[in-house]
Structure 1
């Protein structure tokens, strides 16, 4: 167990002097990190929450040879780089080791992709967070979960050109998260109403994150900004007040969704299906193409995903569905 009586400077000094072994004796670890729904409709780049399914796994081993190596990647159909400088997991781990002054450490990484790439569910985020959580455990929990967020943002910057935190912060911390500020970084955990479920459908169409970001307007009308501010405040208030109706009224986006939704076939029909089947609110997960609905219980969430998949099937689009309660714990050690 980490010594919580030591401050970070003391821990780093111990780590620097302990060049032959990890602080807690572990040399191999396997970690799962969850998928996330970013934006939550109205909170572009500032709101997100974690789900239990899907997610990614990282197996990490300490070696005697300094440096970070990607040993293998499964489940990616050869799409992800094995080059440690270009892979989000290894690059973030390297930043972490540099920060704690342990560049003497050797790390081998096996990445197991358990979720679709480019789905809008934080695929790169889940991988990166699993890697950072793993190395932090192996090095004796030198950093708190919140202190890992900036390193995970480095991975997002590598993946899509911008180091946003609305995926990585909830993946690390679990639950709903508000990024109040990026400079300086200020991440706040929000409450989750009891029994809330997410109904997620991933239409198997290609919507690259970089392309989706480039579609966003650089300037907005003041009246639209005011509407958006009110919705973000209403959503956060609804979470604290356990007010599902307020949450639903606030899940409206006048800035980003109107443009991004045209990239998702059947989007408006899926919104209608979700709301007619009891959804609290509905929108795009991250940059899409996945969509999500919040529901008051699991039965409602399953009814929503079933009806939406039936609609997609009618228009000849394959899809995957995930029904999950909000993930409260973030990443976990599974071996």
Structure 2
């Protein structure tokens, strides 16, 4: 597919921008690859600087061994695609402070990809649409997982909750961001997205598919109607979770204990190992956090927890200079 080249005057552009690129929860239990939700915490901090030559430079400010070859980097690959549609000799230097651990299941690769394209677009005067930015950022997900998918990318760029009706062509629907609290536990083990995809069944029973379609429709309807009980009833996955949960120690105990503590429901965040739960108030969300901590302290696995809310804005510019 061909796209119209963007003509810009480098002399008029901003020179540097800093953004917060937030974590995300993909799938939302039943919506494998089609639903995603943006979080207020954690987030990466990214600085993108405009260069006067056509190249991309990656600088890491933390201890993660991330590729510096732009084509192999989840932030660099999307910018390579962006530059192909810009009729100017420019490039970008990206400095990344990753506070979302790679392999956490809360959208680390998506944060890098989305943060890079939103920041670059801001420097260029926002010449690309959000849909364009998702299209570019999916090249970062392809680097990370081997597959283009937008269930983390779309909410990271649009904010709130997004439904990806189609990837080819892109059709993204922004849904109302519910006034829920989100509790996340990240057991300090790694589940690679590519590995978590490989163990999935390639075919499903019709009765399971019907139940899953009902849950996805119920979840979307619950969000639109602001019906917390319907959202809770719809947070059920009969296809993906039964397979992937075996990779996450303590999963069943966490889910059962959190629902007993008052959570609406939840499940695996993305491909795991993080687990998320939705609650209608902060007090319940903190009780849910206690349940999560107790499970992993008993098992003897280190963990991080977050009690946060849904981020309605997505990637946010926090500083810019000419």
Contact 2:60–2:96 (8 Å) recurs in 1:
yes
Equivalences for residues 78-227 of structure 1 within 5 A: 78-102=64-88, 104-193=89-178, 195-227=179-211
Q: Which runs of 4+ in 1 moved over 3 A?
A: none
Output the TM-score relative to the length of structure 2.
Answer: 0.95
Could you tell me which runs of 5 or more consecutive residues in structure 1 were left unpaired when the two chains were aligned: 1-7
2:230 alignment counterpart: 246
Matching of residue 73 in structure 1 with residue 60 in structure 2? yes
Structure 2 unaligned segments of length 5 or more: list them.
Answer: none
Instruction: Tell me by how many angstroms 1:114 deviates.
Output: 1.1
Taking a change above 3 Å as real, the CA distance of residues 303 and 174 of structure 1, as seen in their structure-2 partners, is: same
State the distance in 2 between where 1:285 and 1:46 align: 13
Q: Does structure 1 conserve the Cα–Cα contact (< 8 Å) formed by 2:161 and 2:174?
A: yes
| Contact kept? 1:146, 1:173, Cα under 8 Å | no
Superposed CA RMSD? 1.3
Partner of 1:326: 310
> 1:27: which partner in 2?
15
Partner in structure 2 of residue 12 of structure 1: 6
Larger displacement relative to structure 2 (305-314 or 156-165): 305-314
TM-score, normalised on structure 1?
Answer: 0.92
Contact 1:57 1:127 in 2 (8 A): no
Q: Please give the alpha-carbon distance, in whole angstroms, between the structure 1 residues aligned to 2:23 and 2:116.
A: 14
SS of the residue corresponding to residue 70 of structure 2 reads: coil
SS of structure 1 residue aligned to 2:43? strand
3-state SS in 1 of match to 2:174: strand
- In 2, are the aligned partners of 1:298 and 1:325 still within 8 Å (CA)? no
By how many angstroms is 1:144 displaced?
Answer: 1.8
How far has the Cα of 1:244 moved from its partner? 0.8
